[in-house]
Chains A and B, each alone.
Chain A
């Protein structure tokens, strides 16, 4: 198993480096449109105009487990939103469910405010640890959605059934919701309650869409190449099964 992992890693690395170099010289194609990514800057702008805060959640998972990549996707998006919020002096409420994620989220937001020359605008109490238990976290966030006059609710990360407590509360209150998760069991609930959805691996594309860095776009292209390889592998295996 470990050897397969190592082979896969050694196979992916050159593809990633090659495609990143192609992006650097401007030989990458256009990125497909993801509506949820396109509305994010507007949300920050509207939040700045109204003075009402924007809520960001990075999911109920932590750092270090199986769901780390989903939490990281949420943190990447938070980094971009924090940059825009700091530039417009928009209030940002960030909620986390894991104590390890808390200092990371605080650091991301603090750096964004410092980067944008608005260090005094940073308030560490706007990044809140709600509860490590998923259901308790959901009820805590539902309370914030009820109490705070939010412009929008952006939730990207790992969510389970407890998502409904938050998503349905936001939908009932008419808060604009942009939600993304990779859990197929939660996606129907997301589709039912959110205005814009990020389905499955779309949550990992946040960095490429918001920052446009060659390394991020190269990574997306690598994902596409691997997707073609997997699809070709499935077709070949099916053909072999049928004809041999």
Chain B
């Protein structure tokens, strides 16, 4: 039984993965249809995972409130708002909008969630400044090189063009070494991603079973 519990998830994962891969290369309607069905199944599983997510949020924050942990007020607000949005959005009456299109839910999104997220995005400016300051402190040779490059690129962006060579130097830095580095990273990431996919398909990497 223990062996079956170990082998079954791996067998299902490998066979479904290989089948979906095969269906991508196939033009046969039947093969394609089953492949699409399996992908749709994944969407259904994702929807059920959302219920598990809600239960997890309730357990984590319910426990914080119960044990009077620091920040329990935020946990209370989170659970209260979650229930308010769920209750308001749930009723599926014949002539009434429900879910995200429900007017109260829309009002909450437009007047509470959107401004909060916009504020958080605005906060990033200050975080970028402090991170930039930390990065530009000269700790070693690399930091010194980075500082020099930052100064050249910053001054190269100045529209007045007091030093004519700087914009050209800035363009060269952005187009040649910076772009080459980014492309190198992206190529490496692509290779890494392909091999991770193959390892998963072959069942070499399977954290879902022992």
Count of chain A to chain B residue pairs whose CB atoms are closer than 8 Å in the complex: 155
Which of the four size classes fits the interface of chain B?
35 or more
Given contacts A99-B50, A215-B204, A216-B204, contact A187 B185 (CB under 8 A): yes
Whose C-beta in chain B lies nearest to the C-beta of A66?
A: B193
Contact partner of A76 (CB less than 8 A), chosen from B59, B182, B185, B205, is: B205
User: Is B104's beta carbon under 8 Å from chain A?
Assistant: no
Main secondary structure of the interface of B (DSSP, over half): helix
- Whether B207 pairs with A136 at a CB distance below 8 angstroms is no
User: Is A139's beta carbon under 8 Å from chain B?
Assistant: yes
Contact partner of A216 (CB less than 8 A), chosen from B120, B131, B205, is: B205
For B71, B117, B205, the residue with the greatest tally of chain A CB atoms inside 10 Å of its CB is B205
Q: What is the distance, in angstroms, from B163's C-beta to the closest C-beta of chain A?
A: 25
Within 8 A of B (CB), among A92-145: 99-100, 102-104, 107-108, 111, 115, 124-125, 127-129, 133, 135-136, 138-139, 143
User: Is A38's beta carbon under 8 Å from chain B?
Assistant: no
- Whether A203 pairs with B204 at a CB distance below 8 angstroms is no
- Whether B134 pairs with A182 at a CB distance below 8 angstroms is no
- Chain B positions within 8 Å of A129 at CB level: 53, 56-57
- Chain B positions within 8 Å of A103 at CB level: 49, 52
- Whether A147 pairs with B71 at a CB distance below 8 angstroms is yes
Given contacts A125-B59, A147-B71, contact A164 B127 (CB under 8 A): yes
4 further interface pairs, Cβ-Cβ under 8 Å (given A135-B117, A200-B186, A223-B195): A100-B46, A129-B57, A135-B121, A219-B195
9 contacting pairs across A/B (C-beta < 8 A): A6-B25, A102-B52, A103-B52, A165-B127, A182-B192, A200-B188, A215-B199, A222-B195, A227-B191
